[in-house]
Amino acid sequence: MSETKIALNAVFGVKAGMTRVFDENGNHVPVTVIKIIPNLITQVKTTDKDGYNAYQIGYGEKREALLNKPNKGILAKAGVSQNVTHFSEVKTDTVETSSLGKEVDFEVFGPGTYVDVTGESKGKGFAGVMKRYNFRGGPASHGSHFHRRVGSIGNRATPGRVFRGKKMPGHMGVDQKTVQNMVVFEINLTKGYLLLKGSVPGGKNGFIKIAKALKK
């Protein structure tokens, strides 16, 4: 690992899409391609000042005109020249103020590493209960006036109201979803990509968080 880089338990990349590869035995393996992007330490949170230890990571570079003044100040203080517009925190047991401005290393996520992958699911708009919650629905035969509706949602005079959290039609998607215990198939730092076995939440060009698996 380079002295200008720091190893953390989580990094951020961009979902480039899906493809398939073949392992050494010739087996077909579906994989998600993650584009490796710069992850920069923009702030160091300490127990004395903030009450906890963490690194703030900046990623997602855009043109300078899209930066607001507070973020410009953060980047200037950290000595970061890239115009990153997204920021997330990664908690660690210990932190070093000398890590400010350094880049996060992807090498710790080598082939065979188990990771938890977090992304924002695709938006489905307004959806009914059959699509949103896999309700069975009513009879499909002629004469039935109950096909895809919700059905009864409450009781009688007692309690005389609909309970909070009742599964109803509504907005579906655009939720934070995490898939646990995925496996890194390949990482190529030269070409700037990482392959994960299987599919991950979200659409193309969406940001993906890759963290060391908690249950492995």
Say if residue 3's pLDDT is above 90: no
For residue 2, the model assigns a pLDDT of 55
Averaged pLDDT, 88-112:
93
CA-CA distances (angstroms) from residue 66 to 16, 37, 43, 86?
23, 18, 20, 11
| 132: number of Cβ within 10 Å | 17
List, in order of start, the domains of the chain with CATH numbers: 5-122+175-212 (2.40.30.10), 124-172 (no CATH)
pLDDT band at 212 (very low <50, low <70, confident <90, very high): very high
Compute the distance between CA of residue 99 and CA of residue 150 in angstroms, rounded to an integer: 54
Angle formed at CA 121 by CA 117 and CA 126, multiple of 5 degrees = 160
Regarding predicted confidence, which is higher, 85 or 1? 85
**Residues 133-143: tens digit of each pLDDT:** 999 999 999 99
**Residues 25-52: tens digit of each pLDDT:** 999 999 999 999 999 999 999 999 999 9
> Is 141 strand, coil or helix?
coil
